[in-house]
């Protein structure tokens, strides 16, 4: 039995994994899908003070409270920053890092460094009434849809869980200065469906920080593959 801790990206909540959880559990694994502060059952806690450090602490606290070890830590999109800093704090408890169509940072980088498009989102928020709230990206015509989701029923379900994203999450740097983090195996899953203009993805180095060959898989779907291809995503996670 493995322990999977699935961390959602910006604007989403832990509910986005609902189609993946039963598939992993039916294979005999434990699965945790927390909503980060400001989302889902914690939406009422959304504020300008919520940042990357808040979300890292959410995950670190869960790992401590549940006494989790040998964790397969999966981060979707923005949560690539979150799982990197979590691993930096608790490398002895992490068995695998999985970057799911995610930002893959270096030490000291922010979301803007990894995905320059986020600068535009920060600037938009600064011009808005709040100055700190980044609304979800708008739905676009197919094949882009809402985060790559195009089925009308799925779009409605997804839209109902989305919340604004605090600017502070995009401005705070990742900590990756613990040498022990480099020994943790990594895997990358890229969603290769249609991407909105301006979205970029860093090439994955041929060698992992631990010296092993890079592991990169692709899913021919949009960004929210846990909604559009849950069985295929689960199959890749089980290969770990």
**DSSP assignment of the chain, as one string?**
--EEEEE--TT--GGGGTTTHHHHHHTT-EEE-PPPTTSGGGGGG--TT--HHHHHHHHHHHHHHTT--SEEEEEETTHHHHHHHHHHH-GGGEEEEEEES---PPTT--HHHH-THHHHHHHHHHHSSSSSEEPPPPPBTTTTBBTTB--HHHHHHHHTT---EEHHHHHSPPP---GGGGGS-EEEEEE-S---TT---PPPPSB-TTSSBP-EEEESS-S-HHHH-HHHHHHHHHT-
* pLDDT at residue 240 is higher than 90: no
169 conformational bin, left if phi > 0, alpha if psi -120 to 50, beta if neither: alpha
Going 105 to 101 to 131 to 50, the CA torsion angle's sign is: negative
- Dump pLDDT digits (tens) for 117-133: 999 999 999 998 889 99
* pLDDT at residue 198 is higher than 90: no
pLDDT at 197: 82
What value does the mean pLDDT take over residues 34-56? 98
Q: Domain count for the chain, please give it.
A: 1
Whether 85 is a known active-site residue: answer no
- The model's confidence at residue 34, banded by pLDDT at 50, 70 and 90, is very high
Domain residues for the domain of 62 are 3-238
What value does the mean pLDDT take over residues 194-214? 92
pLDDT at 194: 85
| CATH number, residue 9 | 3.40.50.1820
- Dump pLDDT digits (tens) for 156-179: 999 999 999 999 999 999 999 999
* pLDDT at residue 186 is higher than 90: yes
What value does the mean pLDDT take over residues 39-63? 98
Catalytic residue among 77, 84, 85, 163: 77
- The model's confidence at residue 144, banded by pLDDT at 50, 70 and 90, is very high
pLDDT at 195: 83
pLDDT at 128: 87
Alpha carbon distance 45, 140 (integer Å): 29
- Work out the mean pLDDT of the chain and round it to a whole number: 96
Q: Return the half-sphere exposure (C-beta side, CA atoms, 13 A cut-off) of residue 19.
A: 15
* pLDDT at residue 54 is higher than 90: yes
């Amino acid at each position: 039995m493995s322990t999977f801790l699935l961390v959602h990206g910006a604007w989403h909540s832990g509910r986005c994994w609902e189609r993946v959880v039963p598939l992993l559990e039916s294979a005999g694994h434990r699965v945790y899908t927390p909503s980060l502060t400001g989302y889902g059952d914690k939406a009422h806690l959304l504020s300008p003070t919520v940042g990357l450090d808040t979300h890292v602490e959410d995950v670190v606290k869960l790992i401590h409270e549940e006494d989790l070890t040998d964790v397969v830590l999966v981060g979707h999109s923005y949560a690539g920053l979150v799982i990197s800093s979590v691993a930096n704090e608790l490398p002895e408890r992490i068995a695998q890092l999985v970057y799911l169509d995610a930002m893959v940072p270096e030490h000291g980088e922010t979301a803007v460094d990894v995905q320059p498009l986020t600068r535009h989102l920060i600037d938009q928020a600064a011009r808005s009434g709040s100055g700190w709230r980044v609304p979800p990206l708008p739905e676009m015509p197919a094949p882009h849809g809402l985060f790559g989701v195009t089925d009308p029923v799925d779009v409605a379900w997804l839209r109902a869980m989305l919340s604004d994203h605090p600017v502070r999450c995009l401005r705070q740097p990742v900590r990756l200065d613990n040498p022990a983090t480099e020994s943790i195996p990594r895997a990358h899953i890229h969603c290769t469906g249609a991407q909105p203009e301006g979205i970029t993805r860093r090439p994955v180095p041929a060698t992992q920080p631990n010296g092993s060959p890079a592991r990169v898989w692709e899913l021919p779907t949009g960004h929210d593959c846990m909604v559009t291809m849950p069985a295929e995503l689960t199959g890749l996670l089980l290969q770990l």
